[in-house]
Structure 1
Amino acid sequence: MAIFEYKAYDTSGGKVNGQVEAKDKPSALLELKKQGLMPTEVKQVAAQTGGISLFSSKVSLADLEFLTSELSLLLESGVKIDRGIDIIKRTKAKPALALLLNNISKDLKKGKSLSQSFADNDDVFDPLYCNLIELGEASGNLSEVFDGLSKDLKFKRDLQRKIISSLAYPAVIFFVCLLSIFFIFNFIIPKMSSMFDGVQELPWYTQVMLSTSEWMMNYQGLLLLGVVAGIIGLVYAAKLPGFIRWWQKVCLKLPVISKATVIVERIRFNSGLAMMVKAGVQIDRAIVLAGGSIKNSILKREMDIAKSKVKGGSALTPALQQTSLYPDFFVSLLEVGEESGNLEKVFDEIATRSRKEFESWTESMTTLLEPLMILFMGGFVGGVVVMMLLSMVSINDIGI
């Protein structure tokens, strides 16, 4: 079966856009005619496979946030979940999202629960997401669960967009710097090299400049191949458990990155805890489920120790205090929440404050990165230009 995107007119002459599932194009046209539509354009956008799709990208964070928000609105309006999924599937959903919804819809028609249907696509939905849906099914407040998840995903999407837009300018500067270096060493310096023919004793910086230019002209193909191979190697290594554990350990030791790593994990853990407690989950079980959202293996191990202490009868605050996620200020908030019995509000407050702290850290880093990139470009390119000028001046000195 495949997904076909179509443009058509209904019986009253109105324009209709959407997607239809069929085994081939003639079957898609027949299905549209059965629906009383007059198609003007029908094209295949994706072929269904064992995974999500071979011809479309993975479901993005924006797609996931869109799906969660739409399901929350539809459920709040009284639309049943299977009907809501079919409605979203027929809209202008991207091919990967349309195929995902098609798989979920099929599972629901086979009698599977919503949480199980989502859990079968674990490459898109994490365990916390599926566990919350399961709790929403049991308690009957699915719309509230989807609303909470959509707010959390919206924050992640906004932050992702902000980081990408902030890094765009430094990335352009870095790219221009590389192009400038390539141009200088491949075109400018080779033309200048004839000026130094026959000179016996050249200054060391002139020799370095000429040697570097000659090396780049002779081996820049290998250099490019090495860069590509390095990138491929990093992408492959990033999937290896050993490399991931090593990198996670390094992230907790680097001065600037360590703070961001802890803040991000604190946001994940506390936002999950807040939603779990709000859904009526007992705190010991909520810690177990929310702990699954922690990605860093070192911090996850610390949380596992805290979970075992809480299960053993220890108070919540002392157990969480021994982890790296909670500095003194947040520990005092936990104490207040534990004594007042209002942990949901405390976890939500910690997650909110941590989000603001991470936004502030991101803005500071991106603001600092721009002048550093300009300084790097000016220093490197300017240094090469200065060496060129000094080399030309040195010819006169040698001649004298």
Structure 2
Amino acid sequence: MPDFQYTARDTAGKKVVGQIAAATEREAVRLLAGNSLFPLEISTDIKSTVRKSNKRVKGQVMAQVYGQLASLLRSGVPLLRSIKVLQKQATNDTLSFVLGEVYSQVEEGINIADAMAQYPKVFSEVCINMSRAGAEGGFLEDALDRVAKFTEQQEDLKGETIGQLAYPVFLGTVGSILVAGLVIFFVPKFGDMFDNLRERGELPAVTDWLLAFSESLRTVWAVVFAIVILVGLLVINNYFKTEAGRKSRDLIKIRLPLVGKVFLAFAVARFCRVLGTLLQNGVPILKSLEISSLAAGNRVISGAIDDATENITSGESLSKPLAQSGYFPGTVVEMISVAEESNTLDRVLIEIADNLEKRTARQLSLAVRLLEPIMLLVMAGAVLVVVIALLMPVIKMSSAI
């Protein structure tokens, strides 16, 4: 709920200044009257309002909101009352505030989609445009149901992907810390022990290299090197924030070994699902392509979709420019081409998304299963090199006695 600053008088005529949370200014007046306060002036707490409206709400929470709103509308509950019910039930401050604002705007006669569009960090483009089509076509509850299912599917896919990648990332982090700790803190303790062998030139090359590397990590040059690396990463990060940088990053992502095809398939699947869902809900093709281009999450794929949009505008097919881009699988392009001819594009796009997501989930699972033993072998190899490098001179010294 938004916070309202107020100046009021109590029953004794004393001026009172304070703050109260309410969905609307009218409700704030009612709450003050219930506390025997007579408002002289009420204004929105701008800082609080901006802070709350700029926060995001988790996708799973929004999926529940869309589903509950659809259920309430299907049960015959009026739209305004449905929004108010959800606003009262909301445990998230940002969600409660935004629903209160949407309620106020709808109460004033504004279309629910236009009210949602004021809060793009809470309501996605897909939700806004499907809600607009549903409100104008008289099937708002069905549109919201599809938004709920779409949002839930995307969140499940994201959660599954993060879950599968969590262990390899953890393994890599722990392994890197372990090897770095060995080289920086453990290896230098053997330096004095091997001084005689080094002076006689009998120290194995691998041991000599390891000791030199360990010593270099403890000097000022290591700090300089770390600073150079950090500055380089900051420069790269700033470049990736530019439009050209984002496109370069997205191109690198889809060309990475092992996981590149996974990133590409996820982007294509997301495009197909968003476009199919929007078309099913009566959103015009050009608007649907514009939204699905942004939703793909990859500038390279978005560029191919933008080219396809230009083709559609000039009366040509969608499949041809997608095929020419070289980023869309041949089977996907062929299915889109057939669907265009049979006028079943919306349904076929959803099927493509389902198949791609299932296939990609299997590929990701396989890639992770391959990655885990590779990472274990690399870490074990690094530790083994350190151990062998330290044992070789010890064995040499023992045999000389």
When structure 1 is superposed on structure 2, of 263-272 and 76-85 the one drifting more is: 76-85
Alignment of 1:191-230 (within 5 A): 191-199=189-197, 200=199, 201=201, 202-218=203-219
Identity across the alignment (%): 25
| Structure 2 match to 1:6 | none
| Structure 2 match to 1:174 | 172
User: In 1, distance between residues paired with 2:230 and 2:343?
Assistant: 55
User: In 1, distance between residues paired with 2:243 and 2:321?
Assistant: 28
CA contact (8 A) 2:273 2:350 kept: yes
Residues 244-280 of structure 1 show CA distances to partners (whole Å, capped at 9, x for unaligned) of 1211232343344442233223222221222232223
CA contact (8 A) 1:167 1:366 kept: yes
The AA in structure 1 aligned to 2:123 is F
When structure 1 is superposed on structure 2, of 141-150 and 261-270 the one drifting more is: 261-270
User: In 2, distance between residues paired with 1:355 and 1:176?
Assistant: 31
User: In 1, distance between residues paired with 2:157 and 2:243?
Assistant: 27
Q: How many residues align?
A: 368
| Structure 2 match to 1:52 | 52
Alignment of 1:238-253 (within 5 A): 238-253=240-255
* Deviation at residue 170 of structure 1 after TM alignment: 2.0
SS in 2 for 1:194: coil
User: In 1, distance between residues paired with 2:226 and 2:31?
Assistant: 51
When structure 1 is superposed on structure 2, of 216-225 and 275-284 the one drifting more is: 216-225
Cα distance change, pair 292–142 in 1 and its aligned pair in 2 (3 A): same
Cα distance change, pair 374–118 in 1 and its aligned pair in 2 (3 A): same
| Structure 1 match to 2:387 | 385
| Structure 2 match to 1:373 | 375
Tell me how large the CA RMSD over aligned residues is.
Answer: 3.6
User: In 1, distance between residues paired with 2:362 and 2:127?
Assistant: 27
Q: Does 1:66 align with 2:68?
A: no
Residues 360-383 of structure 1 show CA distances to partners (whole Å, capped at 9, x for unaligned) of 222122222221221122111222
User: In 2, distance between residues paired with 1:122 and 1:313?
Assistant: 32
When structure 1 is superposed on structure 2, of 242-251 and 211-220 the one drifting more is: 211-220
CA contact (8 A) 1:333 1:346 kept: yes
* Deviation at residue 211 of structure 1 after TM alignment: 2.2
* Deviation at residue 225 of structure 1 after TM alignment: 6.6
CA contact (8 A) 2:126 2:278 kept: no
Cα distance change, pair 63–233 in 1 and its aligned pair in 2 (3 A): farther
Runs (5+) with no aligned partner, structure 2:
4-19, 36-46
CA contact (8 A) 2:272 2:349 kept: yes
The AA in structure 2 aligned to 1:369 is L
SS in 2 for 1:125: coil
The AA in structure 2 aligned to 1:332 is E
| Structure 2 match to 1:133 | 131
User: In 2, distance between residues paired with 1:114 and 1:185?
Assistant: 61
Cα distance change, pair 61–232 in 1 and its aligned pair in 2 (3 A): farther
Which of 340, 344, 347 matches 1:345?
347
User: In 1, distance between residues paired with 2:171 and 2:156?
Assistant: 24
Alignment of 1:218-367 (within 5 A): 218=219, 236-284=238-286, 286-324=288-326, 326-367=328-369
CA contact (8 A) 1:303 1:323 kept: no
* Deviation at residue 158 of structure 1 after TM alignment: 1.3
User: In 2, distance between residues paired with 1:166 and 1:61?
Assistant: 19
Residues 158-214 of structure 1 show CA distances to partners (whole Å, capped at 9, x for unaligned) of 122222222232233223313322432344223222212344023322222222322
TM-score between the two structures when normalised by the length of structure 1: 0.78
TM-score between the two structures when normalised by the length of structure 2: 0.78
User: In 2, distance between residues paired with 1:227 and 1:147?
Assistant: 49
The AA in structure 2 aligned to 1:196 is F
SS in 2 for 1:171: helix
CA contact (8 A) 1:115 1:131 kept: yes
Residues 305-326 of structure 1 show CA distances to partners (whole Å, capped at 9, x for unaligned) of 2222222222444454434454
User: In 2, distance between residues paired with 1:309 and 1:53?
Assistant: 38
